[in-house]
Structure 1
């Protein structure tokens, strides 16, 4: 998977901020509608809303200030730490509020203590409910991410055998006629499968380009002069991380749509263009006349898995066929 957010990132997200404000207003409304005898419920709602928002937003402000420390915590310790900060903030807010009110009413000390204790009890109950909701949200999120990753791994596993069979057939054809090329093919194949079986989910762009070159060298042995490859690269490749084996499916797709069905030479172009905030990788090929209006779907599994992996890193994959050309474009954001 791409880069799942840390618990602290979710806690400080705009969605969480909006949810906290709305939940605070709902709690203030419940307090205002309680059966306790009060003269003006709107005033009670306003005071409760003010106190709750000061406490909750003050807590989030402290969490933001302590982000370097809290960011290292796992979900459960982080939730308890935030609950502790909420209680501290509530204690300070309640004590300050009582001091501001006491100059008019001059109540006894025991009333101020009860006021602070009631505020702390309310904050504790509300905080525990939020803590449970946060932990449940995080658990569901992690389960969804694991399920998605398992789905992607299954899709990737369906791609590898197809490529392996084609490569071994090519190697078998070269063993007796061109043994040196057959040896190089097996070395390139070993490098590709080493990359496919690694635990790493992403690699620097320059390493991915090298893997794509090895794949093209293998396919060049199959098609010879029919496959004409043109690279367009910047002087310096952007320092961008991409999903491992992400260019190879685009090239495989171009070969399937262009080189394989073409009776003559087929031009395959690979371009890497730095863009604001990322990089775009484009692979295009000539379409034979019979395929210009009808694209085969035999390799859709490869593109489907690639698109899912790229989208999980914040990018996307687009394909189109127009003017006798088939084009697949992959865009990745900068890290």
Structure 2
């Protein structure tokens, strides 16, 4: 099903405390730079205080305005968001400096002409810095999108070589069951149809619940192939959190658990899929026993890299896919930020 979650915005990082602190410090640096300009020998400290108040109010007002309109901005392409940010900065600079000049100019000992000059100088600096910032932002954003797209195409090409392996195994399993358990063949083909329907639908975002359903379809097929060698344990909360994931981003990790764990163990083993929640994060863990010999092989990383790139792209870097070996178990951990 289509995603109902708002798309990631380049401005999301702006609401973080670290970003706000650095913005305020940059404003103080700009105020200091203006106070050190020639011609203010006896008024530098007073001028610094005035510029500090003006710049900090402009920045805080701009951040607050952007936060209030964050939802409509999510529907805009990144380059238009940059122009909206510049427009808000310019309007905020004009409004705040006009208000400060009206209420406090005389108290600071500045005549109207000097204040207008200061006001226009601030607006000019905002315009110049903003234009440079837009150019740098657009260049970096294009480079990032091209890199993500190139990586995704590379990983999709790798996955395209993996899918025939699964298809042939499934068809062989179906052929073996036709005479012995014909009722199971229908279920196998229906599960296979659901998986390939999701694969052929192309890149899209679906709910975690739907993605886990695809993983369940895959495991049902593999259960027919491995029989008693494959044991599956689901540890799910009563209600699956409504977070969005890229289609076929969890299922490849489950597929890795089968191919590089169960398939390489004559005695088979157990695959565990667990979902847990934290205040701002949903955690999905896929756990499988290591192959005979106790060491994980590099084959895990094709599915891992594909899932990692797609989840990071969807969540703007807030989500992650990490792996670790714990004793004789291989654990893939997916972290997904909850909707805000």
For Structure 1 versus Structure 2, the TM-score category normalised by the shorter chain is: 0.7 to 0.9
Q: How well do the aligned residues superpose, as a CA RMSD in angstroms?
A: 3.1
Q: Which moved more, 1:26-35 or 1:154-163?
A: 26-35
Query: Which residue is 2:190 aligned to?
Result: 187
* Structure 1 residues 28 and 334, CA gap change in structure 2 (3 angstroms): closer
**Which residues of 2 match residues 7-22 of structure 1 at below 5 A?**
7=11, 9=12, 14=17, 17-22=20-25
Query: Which residue is 1:303 aligned to?
Result: 304
User: 1:210 Cα deviation (Å)?
Assistant: 0.8
> Aligned to 2:72, what secondary structure does the other structure show?
coil
* Structure 1 residues 35 and 226, CA gap change in structure 2 (3 angstroms): closer
Q: Distance in 2 between matches of 1:5 and 1:265?
A: 44
- Does the CA-based 8 Å contact 1:320-1:327 persist in structure 2? yes
Query: Which residue is 2:68 aligned to?
Result: 68
- Does the CA-based 8 Å contact 1:91-1:119 persist in structure 2? no
**Which residues of 2 match residues 81-230 of structure 1 at below 5 A?**
81-101=88-108, 112-150=111-149, 151-172=151-172, 174-175=174-175, 178=178, 181-198=184-201, 201-230=204-233
Q: Deviations over 1:197-224 (max 9, x none)?
A: 4456432221111101111122223322
**Which residues of 2 match residues 289-328 of structure 1 at below 5 A?**
290-292=292-294, 294-312=295-313, 313=315, 314-328=318-332
- Does the CA-based 8 Å contact 2:31-2:52 persist in structure 1? no
Runs (5+) with no aligned partner, structure 1 = 103-110
Q: Which moved more, 1:133-142 or 1:113-122?
A: 133-142
> Aligned to 1:72, what secondary structure does the other structure show?
helix
* Structure 1 residues 198 and 53, CA gap change in structure 2 (3 angstroms): farther
* Structure 1 residues 54 and 322, CA gap change in structure 2 (3 angstroms): closer
- Does the CA-based 8 Å contact 1:279-1:332 persist in structure 2? yes
Larger radius of gyration: 1
Q: Deviations over 1:249-300 (max 9, x none)?
A: 2221211232212223422222223334333322223345x321x2222231
Query: Which residue is 1:108 aligned to?
Result: none
Query: Which residue is 1:107 aligned to?
Result: none
- Does the CA-based 8 Å contact 1:95-1:116 persist in structure 2? no
Q: Which moved more, 1:259-268 or 1:22-31?
A: 22-31
Normalised TM-score (structure 2): 0.80
- Does the CA-based 8 Å contact 1:269-1:283 persist in structure 2? yes
* Structure 1 residues 301 and 333, CA gap change in structure 2 (3 angstroms): same
* Structure 1 residues 32 and 239, CA gap change in structure 2 (3 angstroms): closer
* Structure 1 residues 79 and 255, CA gap change in structure 2 (3 angstroms): same
Q: Distance in 2 between matches of 1:193 and 1:219?
A: 15
Query: Which residue is 1:105 aligned to?
Result: none
User: How many residue pairs were aligned?
Assistant: 319
> Aligned to 2:92, what secondary structure does the other structure show?
helix
- Does the CA-based 8 Å contact 1:6-1:71 persist in structure 2? no
Runs (5+) with no aligned partner, structure 2 = 1-5, 74-80
Query: Which residue is 2:76 aligned to?
Result: none
